[in-house]
Amino acid sequence: MRRLTMLGLAFMLSTSALAAPADDLRSVIDDHWAWFLKNNPTYATALGVRDHDSELPDISLAAQDRQVADAHRFLDRLKAIPDTGLGKTERLNKAILSRMLREDIEANGFGARTMLFTTYSGWHQNFAGLGDNVPLRTRADYESYLTRLSKYPRLNDDALAITRKAVAEGFTQPCDAMQGFEKSILGVITDDPRQSRFYEPFTRARPVDVSEADWTAMQTRAADIIAKTVNPEYREFADYYVKEYAPKCRKSVGASTLPEGKDYYAYRARVMTTTDMTPDAIHALGLSEVKRIRAEMEEVAKKAGFADRAAFVAKLRADPQYYAKTPDELMRAASLIAKTIDGKMPAYFGRLPRLPYGLKEIPAEIAEGTTTAFYSSGSPESGLSGTYYLNTSKLDQRPLFELPALTVHEAVPGHHHQIALQQELDLPEFRKHAASFTAFTEGWGLYSERLGIPMGLYDTPAKDMGRLSYEMWRAARLVVDTGMHMKGWTKKQAVDFMLDNTALSAANIDAEVNRYITWPGQALAYKIGELKIRELRTCAEKELGPKFDIRTFHDTVLENGAVPLDVLDAHVSEWIAAAKAKG
């Protein structure tokens, strides 16, 4: 009896020792997630966590430094947990969180952390979208929203203080890319506060727990806060930008000309691609892909009856039949394509997300200077759908033949499918909502464009050229991004390269090159991620032969959420081996 008791005790001690690393890891992950939500209070609200509903993030440099100090402590705790005793999924959770923390720490060491806006985004535009990104259904929701509007001066003051420091230390955006940027600030301001984006939530149905009299009073408060608090802050930023920032903008376009610029760009390339590829290797890959895709474009042009690619592209750019006449026409065309794709999804995926998505126009004040479209994730917990945003400015530069490729990328099976599905996975919260490895997410988006071929979306030569132009666009990014940021290219060289190799309109190319200039390295992720997914599919098809199932392959690629490319490679390779072993 005593022997059995001792054996039982030994087993319990052994089990406890094995369980301890998993418990420790769970504790770190839980603590980190609570910390993340506290430091990202508006995102917490969007995710349905209501502990910080009236707060805005502290973006000050002091706060950034405190957060990095916290990141060091989290990383130390992770390092103290031995992998022995952790399961496969736990080891992956540990590795991904460690990687995220290390990247945040490294980023904070560069002076470029003081560059708070690009042609694509900035604190002023992020805040202007607040009403679309948090739940607004109850009195408490609207009270929190009003409180946040009233707190904007602190956020704007911190942002302007950081930006002044950036200017003083030589961290400014290039002049060539920033023409008209002030419109993205001034466009938010309305003479009538009740026409403001900030007031739009108060034009919706009255919450059931708010009386008519109280609703009228809240509407009045909102208009007053917008007119007396928010608008003056936007005017202050616009005035500072025009009078102080723009005159000191950078004359060179490359990130390598910034202090520590070469190291910073190499860091950006590593983070955005999740690889150790050097900028030179990425540049060479881009040139190779451009050559391959250009040959395919020549074939499509000849099938369409044109002498060469250039003649077909010239036709596509100039013929009015390929362009919508009104924003509504463009939105209706995109909506029809989106709904058509929805009906094809079960043939390519075994698992579909529950969260739907909608379409909206990109806000007018940023439309002319930003990209063709983008996706904004939703939240099942907060009742927010995903949103596919379309640019309806400069309609003569938004060809309809690009819409199929654009829609599969931004909506389904691209960003909405992947991100909404990730939100439902049985993963720690940080992996569902904070781990967004760009090479995976954008690589998947570009891979999805290729799925439009078997779906039958590119049923005319123009649409097929649009698809190839989009693939060429991403291949050209590898060339022009590294060209400008590491090889001394000018903006004109980049624009000319894009004009020569893609079918994109001049306005799209100008906006895109400005984006690459002000957001170094981000554009590298798409093609490198897509090539990895295509490589893995080719391997699976070869190894599995008739046993290869496209639905299972896609579900396997997506079942861990966004991960670094080396993790994806190992996961799919393991799935292939297991599938082969089944005989």
pLDDT at 583: 67
Specify whether 63 is located in the same domain as 104. yes
Final residue in a domain of this structure, among 493, 512, 530: 530
Same domain as 297, residue 239: no
If asked whether residues 314 and 419 sit together in one domain, one would say yes
Domain that includes residue 234, residue range: 136-251
Residues 481 and 459 in one domain: yes
- Separation CA 240–CA 246 (nearest Å): 9
Provide the pLDDT for residue 13: 41
**Position of tokens 């060479």?**
284
By three-state DSSP, how is residue 373 classified? strand
Residue 324: predicted pLDDT:
98
Q: Supply φ then ψ for residue 259, to 5 degrees.
A: -55, 130
Would residue 557 count as lying in a domain? Answer: no
All residues at 6 or more sequence positions from 258 whose CB lies less than 8 Å from its CB, including other chains: 111, 112, 170, 171, 250, 264
For 71, the token pair is 């990141």
**pLDDT score for 71:** 98
- Per DSSP, the residues of 170-212 read T---BGGG-TTTTHHHHTT--SSGGGSTTTGGGGSPPPTTS-H
Residue 129 lies in a domain: no
Residue 92 lies in a domain: yes
Same domain, 155 and 63: no
The verdict on 445 and 414 lying in the same domain is: yes
Secondary-structure percent of the chain, ordered helix, strand, coil, rounded to 5? 70, 5, 30
Count of structural domains, the chain: 3
How many other CB atoms sit within 10 Å of the CB of residue 15? Answer: 10
Q: Is residue 8 part of a domain?
A: no
| 536/3 Cα distance (integer angstroms) | 54
Q: Are residues 352 and 423 in the same domain?
A: yes
- Same domain, residue pair 245 and 289: no
**Residue 227 CA from chain centroid, whole number:** 32
Same-domain status, 244 and 297 = no
pLDDT for 7: 43
407 C-beta neighbours (distance < 10 Å), count: 28
Own/partner pairs, 348-351, CB within 8 angstroms, 24+ separation: 348/413, 348/451, 348/455, 348/550, 348/551, 348/554, 349/413, 349/417, 349/551, 349/554, 349/555, 350/551, 350/552, 350/554, 350/555, 351/421, 351/555, 351/558, 351/559
Query: In terms of domains, do 84 and 207 share one?
Result: no
Flag whether 125 is in a domain.
no
Position 441 in a domain: yes
Residue 204, in any domain of the structure: yes
Considering the domain boundaries, does residue 562 fall inside one?
no
User: Do residues 358 and 460 share a domain?
Assistant: yes
Question: What is the rounded CA–CA span in Å between residue 124 and residue 232?
Answer: 12
pLDDT by residue for the chain (583 residues), tens digit each?
Answer: 334 444 444 444 444 444 589 999 999 999 999 999 999 999 999 999 999 999 999 999 999 999 999 999 999 999 999 999 899 999 999 999 999 999 999 999 999 999 999 998 999 999 999 999 999 999 999 999 999 999 999 999 999 999 999 999 999 999 999 999 999 999 999 999 999 999 999 999 999 999 999 999 999 999 999 999 999 999 999 999 999 999 999 999 999 999 999 999 999 999 999 999 999 999 999 999 999 999 999 999 999 999 999 999 999 999 999 999 999 999 999 999 999 999 999 999 999 999 999 999 999 999 988 889 999 999 988 889 999 999 999 999 999 999 999 999 999 999 999 999 999 999 999 999 999 999 999 999 999 999 999 999 999 999 999 999 999 999 999 999 999 999 999 999 999 999 999 999 999 999 999 999 999 999 999 999 999 999 999 999 999 999 999 999 999 999 999 999 999 999 999 999 999 998 6
pLDDT digits (tens, 9 = 90+) for 520-565: 999 999 999 999 999 999 999 999 999 999 999 999 999 999 999 9
| Sequence-distant (≥ 6) Cβ neighbours of residue 320 within 8 angstroms | 396
318 plus 233 within the same structural domain? no
Are 299 and 309 contacting, i.e. CB atoms less than 8 angstroms apart?
no
What does the radius of gyration of the chain's CA atoms come to, in whole angstroms?
Answer: 25
Other Cβ atoms closer than 10 A to 98: 16
Final residue in a domain of this structure, among 109, 124, 144? 109
Alpha helix locations (H) across 363-486? 364-367, 403-410, 415-422, 429-433, 438-451, 461-486
Sequence-distant (≥ 6) Cβ neighbours of residue 571 within 8 angstroms: 556, 560, 563
Domain's final residue, options 251, 278, 301: 251
